[in-house]
Amino acid sequence: MVQQYSSALLEKAVGEFSKLPGIGRKTALRLVLFMLRREEGDVDQFVDAIARMKREVKYCRVCHNISDTEVCPICSDPRRDASVICVVENVQDVLAVENTQQFHGLYHVLGGIISPMDGIGPADLEIDSLVQRVAAGGVKEVILALSSTMEGDTTNFYISRKLADYPVKLSVIARGISVGDELEYTDEVTLGRSILNRTPFNQ
Amino acid sequence: MVQQYSSALLEKAVGEFSKLPGIGRKTALRLVLFMLRREEGDVDQFVDAIARMKREVKYCRVCHNISDTEVCPICSDPRRDASVICVVENVQDVLAVENTQQFHGLYHVLGGIISPMDGIGPADLEIDSLVQRVAAGGVKEVILALSSTMEGDTTNFYISRKLADYPVKLSVIARGISVGDELEYTDEVTLGRSILNRTPFNQ
């Protein structure tokens, strides 16, 4: 590529920023110039925080969530209900479920979902370790909280087969019309499922 | 603030990213998780590029554009016309003018424009050094290429006063309707100016 800026150092920094997802060269330049205007100490802090995180962050030995310690704060919290495991695709989904404040069990982060199109098979995911957790006993329910897509359904089905031999209750998060959605604009598959999975009114 | 993530290292990195302009906590988390998935070497490269740029980048002694050397590549290029100086607000504006490929002179980066609302006065800008460049001789024309705002106009006026005693041609970039704009939707001030500043048809 032809050099665009009057400084190769600037060029390099812009190039690095524009490798990040959703950041083009214009935004990258804006971010880099912002960095140039900041105090030296602030930039050091930024750089150190990223380098340290990359170097030191661990994945929880039990649930594979991001953690600073061998076992994450959720898995090691005695107030959480260890008999219920919520299976999610990734770290963001743990945050999403945590934010609802409706779940008090433990998690299991698969690290993706089965997607033949992207070359991701069951062996690439933390499915065996989930089966081991269930096999170790003490787990009464496994909640599958994956995306409502073909890939999510495939992964749900695969996990259900793997857990079929264990005395554990398997459930899937409810699918239906979103809170605040108008019926008129709900797609027919969602609406159909929400009718099939109707719940008693006063629940 | 309450800790939101299961890792303080992650928390810190997200916090640092979300200090950047236009990046909220959700985007910051996405960027940080992307960093986590990258190769160690790639992250080192990212971090080094920013740290090095912040430490080593200079401002050109002549035009105050960003540069790796004492004098920037534009100022030291013998093919550029040193008798014309284009005055711009900041580094991005140098890039914007360069991208037009219509200007072959040198630049002068003010580092801002006069803005009493933001507490920026003439003394905060590189106006004296511009006057010195003109006083040193050899400059035939100064092109004022500032934003078409109240602050831009004020700065233009201030510079014109400062340069009044020197035998230098002072010009302002043309203001008129943008290429591709429809007359119907052009504001009346712009349209009025574009009529006053009309140019011979075959130019």
ipTM, 2 dp? 0.77
pLDDT for residue A1:
41
Mean pLDDT, 10 residues at a time, chain B of 203 residues: 73 94 92 90 94 92 93 94 94 88 93 92 94 94 91 93 93 83 81 79 62
pLDDT for residue A106:
95
Nearest C-alpha in A relative to B44: A51
Chain B positions touching A90 (Cβ under 8 A) are 33
CA–CA gap between residue A138 and residue A133 (Å, rounded): 9
Question: Half-sphere exposure of B38 toward its Cβ, with a 13 Å CA cutoff?
Answer: 23
Mutation test of the interface with chain B: which of A54, A86, A90, choosing the one with the most B Cβ atoms within 10 A?
A: A54
Mean pLDDT, 10 residues at a time, chain A of 203 residues: 73 94 92 90 94 92 93 94 94 88 93 92 94 94 90 93 93 83 81 79 61
**Residues in Cβ contact with A8 at an 8 Å cutoff, skipping those fewer than 6 apart:** B68
Chain A positions touching B55 (Cβ under 8 A) are 40
pLDDT for residue B139:
95
Chain A positions touching B46 (Cβ under 8 A) are 16-17, 19, 50
> CA of B114, closest CA in chain A: separation in Å?
18
Domains (range + CATH), chain A = 8-56 (1.10.8.420), 78-172 (3.40.1360.10)
Contact A66 B6 (CB under 8 A): yes
Contact B16 A49 (CB under 8 A): yes
Specify the pairing of strand A66-67 against strand A81-88: unpaired
pLDDT for residue B202:
63
DSSP character at residue B20: S
Ramachandran sector of residue A138 (left: φ over 0; alpha: ψ -120 to 50; beta: rest): left
Report helix angle B8-17 to A40-56, nearest 10: 140
pLDDT for residue B48:
94
Nearest Cα to A105, choosing from A70, A61, A145, A67?
A: A145
Contact B9 A50 (CB under 8 A): no
Report helix angle B91-100 to A25-37, nearest 10: 150
Chain A positions touching B23 (Cβ under 8 A) are 31
Q: A50 is written with which tokens?
A: 């990223």
Mutation test of the interface with chain A: which of B17, B25, B53, B100, choosing the one with the most A Cβ atoms within 10 A?
A: B53
- Quote the Cα angle for A158-A75-A169, to 5°: 40
**Through-space distance between the first and last CA atoms of chain A, rounded to whole angstroms:** 63
pLDDT for residue A202:
63
CA–CA gap between residue B10 and residue B16 (Å, rounded): 10
Task: Give the tens place of pLDDT for each residue, A110-131.
Answer: 999 999 999 999 999 999 999 9
Nearest C-alpha in B relative to A49: B13
- Among the partner-chain residues B6, B13, B36, the one whose CB lies closest to the CB of A67 is B6
Contact B13 A49 (CB under 8 A): yes
Contact B47 A50 (CB under 8 A): yes
> CA of B173, closest CA in chain A: separation in Å?
23
pLDDT for residue A140:
94
pLDDT for residue A110:
95
Residue A91, Cβ density class (10 Å: 0-12 exposed, 13-18 middle, ≥19 buried): buried
